[in-house]
Amino acid sequence: MTYAVGLLLDAGIVFASDTRTNAGVDHVSTFKKMTVFEVPGERMIVLMGSGNLAITQSVVSQLHAWNAAQPKTRGGRAVRANRAILRAETMFEAARIVGAALREVHALDGEHLTAHGADFNAMFILGGQIGGEAPRLFQVYAAGNFIEAGVDTPYFQIGETKYGKPIIDRIVRPETSLSVAAKCTLISFDSTMRSNVSVAMPLDVMLYERDSLKAGFYRRIPRNDPYMQALSEGWSKGIRSAFEALPDPDWPVESGDSRRPRKRRKG
């Protein structure tokens, strides 16, 4: 599986993705799922993919190919709509281009996947900032359509989303700082990795600072990262303390932990 998160904040965007891929439980690998499209001073765009790795990698390769191709013109006018993320004028156009790449891959591979009983399973988070626009964040579906984050729900998750969602819902607001949002993101990953072995370290994290128009602080967080370990242990202890501080129910059953369990009777 995969877990990836994008958080759209007033201060910028937090991007994070894990690196585990698996085809069955006996074929587990590490792949980077975060791709950066950057022209410093002009645009900074991050794409994170989940789902079938063959599809998501093909989409990224297609996007690179479109970036590399010279725009076809006839008499000075473009022959077809721009398909280069590096030349997109808005993030909306960039999201359309990611959708177009998905549709290109679907046209090539879709029926063959169906013939082998496999779904066309892919999802992307696309975020960043171009020129004078504000930073924007999109979630692109396998069909190539997409939705955009707003102030009510300033984040998107893809892959194994459930275990890591509650902490984001409780903590992250548009005014949350990049640092605090990054801390929340790492705890969200910790909860996810604790419950789903198909999401795993190392993690890729990038903090994009609004209006910087360049790749922000990037870090690959390895398996034994001291800060991640401190967070994980501190969070376990904090959760347990918070739980113990809550009142037990005043229901008519014995209370307190029965540390000396009764022997099990044999049936």
Footprint on residues 191-210 left by a second copy (CB under 8 A): 191, 194-195, 207, 209-210
Please report how close the Cβ of residue 178 comes to a second copy at its closest, in angstroms.
5
Which residues contact residue 50 at a Cβ distance below 8 angstroms, ignoring those fewer than 6 apart? Answer: 1, 2, 3, 4, 33, 56, 122, 123, 124, 158, 159
Contact, 230 vs 186, CB < 8 A?
Answer: no
Q: Which of 75, 132, 152, 224 binds a second copy (CB under 8 A)?
A: 132
Please report how close the Cβ of residue 25 comes to a second copy at its closest, in angstroms.
18
Closer to a second copy at the Cβ: 74 or 170?
Answer: 170
Distance from C-alpha of 252 to C-alpha of 254, rounded to nearest angstrom: 7
Taking residues 76 to 95 in sequence order and writing x for each that binds a second copy by CB under 8 A, - otherwise, the string is --------------x-----
* Residue 40 within binding range of a second copy, rule CB under 8 A: no
Contact, 50 vs 123, CB < 8 A?
Answer: yes
Alpha helices in the chain (DSSP H): 53-68, 91-115, 165-171, 178-195, 226-245
Amino acid (one-letter) located at 190 = D
Q: Which of 118, 171, 198, 214 binds a second copy (CB under 8 A)?
A: 171
| Helices 226-245 and 178-195, packing angle to 10 deg | 80
Q: Counting beta carbons within 10 angstroms of the beta carbon of residue 92, is it exposed (0 to 12), middle (13 to 18) or buried (19 or more)?
A: middle
Footprint on residues 223-242 left by a second copy (CB under 8 A): 227, 230-231, 234-236, 238-242
**Number of residues near a second copy (by CB under 8 A):** 70
* Residue 247 within binding range of a second copy, rule CB under 8 A: yes
Distance from C-alpha of 127 to C-alpha of 85, rounded to nearest angstrom: 12
* Residue 257 within binding range of a second copy, rule CB under 8 A: yes
Closer to a second copy at the Cβ: 76 or 267?
Answer: 267
Please report how close the Cβ of residue 71 comes to a second copy at its closest, in angstroms.
22
Contacting residues toward a second copy, per CB under 8 A: 10-11, 90, 131-134, 162-163, 165-167, 169-171, 174-180, 182-184, 186-187, 191, 194-195, 207, 209-211, 216-217, 219, 227, 230-231, 234-236, 238-243, 245-259, 261-262, 264-267
